[in-house]
Amino acid sequence: GAGVSQSPSNKVTEKGKDVELRCDPISGHTALYWYRQRLGQGLEFLIYFQGNSAPDKSGLPSDRFSAERTGESVSTLTIQRTQQEDSAVYLCASSLDRGGNEQFFGPGTRLTVL
Amino acid sequence: AQSVTQLGSHVSVSEGALVLLRCNYSSSVPPYLFWYVQYPNQGLQLLLKYTTGATLVKGINGFEAEFKKSETSFHLTKPSAHMSDAAEYFCAVSLRRALTFGSGTRLQVQP
């Protein structure tokens, strides 16, 4: 595909349920990032993958959050036992892994926890 | 640690007027600097970026920004606002890889 794609575009879940969000990066992009955007706020970094290196998980807010990426392809972000404060838009981005390289963002997944 | 401050969560200008969106950063070393725009119900799109070299950076849609190291600023400007410029604008800084974003400035353009 031409750009970063994410699915689902919208997800409504009940408090306490687990959710899984998917990101398909641009082909050939070795770096992949997950960010969270709460309503009316800027983006918060969650996690960064680069090739087969250990991911940078420094932005994950709690151990209920985890993410996986196989090689340089699809990534999934999993939130266990969702809480209302997890409601946000989750954005994925990918880039060629060079300093200062542009990150290309997907359209996001809007998560609503009831 | 790095951080980004965007002064003014909302800016309103008249069509044809100058647009000035302010961004200040803090970083222990010169960072890479970015401006992204988010149109309603759309993803983020890169407007422009500063990595090295010329400190005045030109981007898409007539926007430009100037990196001023002495002021730790990277303000975004456009000489003449269009109605289509109404959107949310985010300044971001990168030292290693992940971006640190400011809280955003929503630009309104009045007819």
Annotate B8-22 with DSSP letters as a single string.
-SEEEEETTS-EEEE
Can you give the pLDDT at residue A100?
A: 67
User: By CB neighbour count within 10 A (0-12 exposed, 13-18 middle, 19+ buried), where does B59 fall?
Assistant: middle
CB pairs under 8 A between A and B: 58
Does the pLDDT of residue A70 top 90, yes or no?
Answer: no
User: Do the chains contact at A45 and B98, CB–CB below 8 Å?
Assistant: yes
Distance CA A102, CA A108 (A): 17
Can you give the pLDDT at residue A20?
A: 98
Can you give the pLDDT at residue B2?
A: 77
Alpha-carbon distance A16 to nearest alpha carbon in chain B (angstroms): 28
Can you give the pLDDT at residue B41?
A: 77
Percent of chain A with pLDDT over 90: 74
User: Do the chains contact at A105 and B99, CB–CB below 8 Å?
Assistant: no
Contact status of A105 with chain B (Cβ, < 8 Å): yes
Query: Distances in Å between the alpha carbon of B92 and those of A13, A45, A94, B59, B107?
Result: 31, 11, 16, 15, 17
Contact residues on chain A for B52, CB-CB shorter than 8 A: 100
Q: How confident is the model at residue A1 (pLDDT cuts 50, 70, 90)?
A: low
Q: How confident is the model at residue A41 (pLDDT cuts 50, 70, 90)?
A: confident
Q: How confident is the model at residue B40 (pLDDT cuts 50, 70, 90)?
A: confident
Can you give the pLDDT at residue A71?
A: 79
Distance CA A88, CA B45 (A): 19
Does the pLDDT of residue A99 top 70, yes or no?
Answer: no
Q: What DSSP character marks residue B103?
A: -
Residues counted in chain A: 114
